[in-house]
């Protein structure tokens, strides 16, 4: 398989970071996560950036990070759930060699994010309603940039990685 960039998109809780780490190890690629890169560069966590700069400020940082990383060879890049909301980000994502959309049901996303206090968009009275509304808005955008879609419901991270590897070899 030639050296290339594999970019993972999908909602928060779909497993982009976990699966991305495992996939990168299998491919002997570097693993990067846009949220972690932003936190490393700013010295602040995502929740703090949201509090201080608002979602717009965070999205600007996310766009700059994506532009820097999207074409790095031999890299698996996990992205934030909202990265597809900006048209310029979708154009950058489409330039990646391979884009995989990790899908998950509302129930799975809710279960996986229930105890996570580091997700600013879910610090609301009704996280289920928020996840539903985010999926309604974003799912068509994930689909529009993805080369492949992989459902993560009911399969562990290793099985999902195997499914992605099969797609990459096809």
Q: List the domain boundaries for the chain.
A: 5-169
Beta carbons within 10 angstroms of residue 44's beta carbon: 15
Strands of the sheet containing 30-33, edge to edge, are 30-33, 75-78, 5-9, 98-103, 148-151
CATH of domain 5-169: 3.40.50.300
pLDDT tens digits for the chain (170 residues)? Answer: 555 899 999 998 899 999 999 999 999 999 999 999 999 999 998 888 988 998 899 999 999 999 999 989 999 999 999 999 999 999 999 989 999 999 998 888 887 676 666 655 556 677 778 888 889 999 999 999 999 999 998 888 999 999 999 999 87
User: pTM of the entire structure?
Assistant: 0.91
């Amino acid at each position: 398989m030639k050296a290339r960039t594999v970019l993972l998109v999908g909602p928060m809780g779909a497993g982009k970071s976990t699966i991305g780490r495992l996939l990168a190890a299998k491919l002997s690629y570097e693993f990067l996560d846009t949220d972690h890169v932003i936190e490393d560069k700013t010295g602040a966590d995502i929740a703090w950036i949201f509090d201080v700069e608002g979602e717009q400020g965070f999205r600007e940082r996310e766009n700059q990070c994506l532009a820097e990383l999207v074409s790095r060879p031999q890299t698996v890049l996990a992205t934030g759930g909202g990265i597809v909301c900006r048209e310029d980000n979708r154009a950058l994502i489409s330039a990646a060699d391979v884009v995989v959309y990790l899908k998950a049901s509302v129930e799975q996303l809710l279960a996986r994010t229930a105890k996570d206090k580091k997700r600013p968009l879910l610090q609301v009275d009704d996280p289920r309603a928020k996840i539903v509304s985010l999926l309604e808005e974003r799912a068509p955008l994930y689909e529009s940039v993805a080369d492949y879609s992989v459902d993560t419901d009911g399969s562990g991270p290793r099985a999902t990685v195997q499914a992605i590897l099969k797609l990459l070899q096809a």
